[in-house]
Amino acid sequence: MADAAIVMAFDTFIQSKLPDIEASAKALSIPDITEATDTFKAALALLRQLLTASAQCQKPKDADWSKILGPVMQLGEKAQKACDNRSEYFQNRKATSEALNVVTLITTPSPPSHVQNVLETMDFHAIKVMQKKNPDETAWVKALKTLVTDMKEWCNENCKLGVSWNPQGKDALVYFAETPLTTEGGPAPAAAPAKGKGKGKAPAIPKGGLQAPPPELKAKLGAPAPTGGGGMQEIFAAIGQFSTSNLKKVSDDMKTKNQKKDGPSIVPAVQAKRESVSAGRRAGKGPKGPPIKELQKDTNWVLENWEGVHDLTVEDAQMQHLVCLMNCKNITLRLSGKVKSINVDGCLRANIICADVISAVELVNCERCAVQTTGKVNAFAIDKCDGVNLWLSKESLEAEITTSKSSEMNVTIPEEGGEEGDTVEIPIPEQFVTKVVGPKKLRTEVSSLYSG
């Protein structure tokens, strides 16, 4: 069967853009960048398979996408896990990881807008790669950015109002069960052939009925071993023989309502600690190993897995040092000297008090964190965070604050004309209003919630 027109157009587009990225990665010959490039190529292969499917099956229902896009999600998780902020190529990895999201244009009613959002998200990290002023890395990231930028125009020409599906084709779940998405270059074998539309039925009961549980298992359950026959009848018969005569009786003085109440109950320390650990695991942020505080590669101060410590310091921090705070919970870090940059990743309730920062303070994947400046900081970057408070000194009032995918952010500044110590708290906008103002132009403004 010949490929659909949209697939052929996609092949032509990729063949004109991808070689530049591959050639730049080969020239660098850096494992991190080579692997990131291969991951991006795998994402484009998945997108091609989805475009191929659009000509052969009906449009998936909203509830079906999570089943169909499993390999896409797995690839994205793999790319995110490979982003180690201790690596020199962390920003390269992050730029590629964000670029992978172009695959989900298949699910949106406006692919050009979706690609534009992807471009804006990855551009934050692409700019940081270019700021390294390495010609080969710059060529690589520019080639990657060009592909994503030009893909927006490709979407305008081929799927401006969404990808068209075949209303006379197969049911989407049936098609993807027979031809699931794969990053291996060819179709992977289906787990089980689908027989038709609908939810399907449970497997038929085998002839002769269900087997009775083995004698060993029934002995552990306290039921008598089978004497013959088998099947569900024997199980229900065993349940019918259960007696409550051996259960322990609860006397009146053992009932909670009759217990003496001298004061508030006290949870034992061991139990409280266990509940605290469980809560931390649920949140997914906090220590994941023994605490670490060391200088790596002569430039990176790494502080990792600290909890409940409020006097963390880095006494020997110098102007060329990057300070990395990772997987910490309920801590306070004080930096009195000038440093190159500060990176806070995966932390919960972390407070950072810093003096001069030459580059930027970055917060990624954090919750309930605060940064207070006592000197001059030029820029802040907040990505995938909830509950961030920035306390700016007078020297830092001109700092640029870049935010993405974050909520509950506030900046506190000295009150103009007020007394020493008077401050004003201002919310950082996270809601915007966009209007169409021309054939190919949008105007975006901050929501009126933040006016005044």
Mean pLDDT of 356-376: 92
Contact 302, 324 (CB under 8 A): yes
- Using only C-alpha atoms, what is the Rg of the chain? 29
Does 424 or 315 have the greater pLDDT score?
424
Contact 340, 315 (CB under 8 A): no
Q: How many residues does the structure list for the chain?
A: 452
Return the pLDDT at 238: 54
Mean pLDDT of 337-354: 92
Calpha distance 332→347 (Å, rounded):
11
Q: Tell whether the model's pLDDT for residue 294 goes beyond 60.
A: yes
Q: How far is CA 212 from the centre of its chain?
A: 46
Q: Tell whether the model's pLDDT for residue 448 goes beyond 90.
A: no
Calpha distance 339→164 (Å, rounded):
53
Assess whether the region 5-178 and the region 292-450 belong to the same CATH fold.
Answer: no
Return the pLDDT at 363: 94
Whole-number mean pLDDT of the chain? 80
Return the pLDDT at 277: 45
Residue 35: pLDDT band (50, 70, 90) is: very high
Amino acid at 317: A
Mean pLDDT of 109-138: 89
Return the pLDDT at 66: 84
Return the pLDDT at 257: 63
- Residue holding tokens 């900081």? 377
5-178, CATH topology level: 1.25.40
- Residue holding tokens 């590629």? 96
Lowest mean pLDDT, pick from 96-105, 173-182, 331-340, 411-420? 411-420
Q: Tell whether the model's pLDDT for residue 98 goes beyond 60.
A: yes
How many CA atoms lie within 13 Å of 271's alpha carbon, on the beta-carbon side? 4
Return the pLDDT at 151: 93
Return the pLDDT at 240: 53
Q: Tell whether the model's pLDDT for residue 411 goes beyond 60.
A: yes
Return the pLDDT at 191: 35
User: Residue ranges of the domains in the chain?
Assistant: 5-178, 292-450
Q: What is the pLDDT of residues 274-287, one digit of tens each?
A: 444 444 444 477 88
Mean pLDDT of 120-148: 90
Return the pLDDT at 219: 53
Calpha distance 404→288 (Å, rounded):
26
Contact 25, 33 (CB under 8 A): yes
Residue 2: pLDDT band (50, 70, 90) is: low
Residue 263 structure tokens: 């004061």
Q: Tell whether the model's pLDDT for residue 303 goes beyond 50.
A: yes
Residue 215: pLDDT band (50, 70, 90) is: low
Q: What is the pLDDT of residues 176-207, one digit of tens each?
A: 988 888 876 433 333 333 334 444 444 444 54
**Whole-prediction pTM:** 0.45
Calpha distance 294→310 (Å, rounded):
18
Q: Tell whether the model's pLDDT for residue 222 goes beyond 80.
A: no
Mean pLDDT of 93-101: 91
With 0-12 / 13-18 / 19 or more C-beta atoms within 10 angstroms meaning exposed / middle / buried, residue 123 is middle
Residue 417: pLDDT band (50, 70, 90) is: confident
Domain spanning 292-450: CATH 1.10.20.60: no
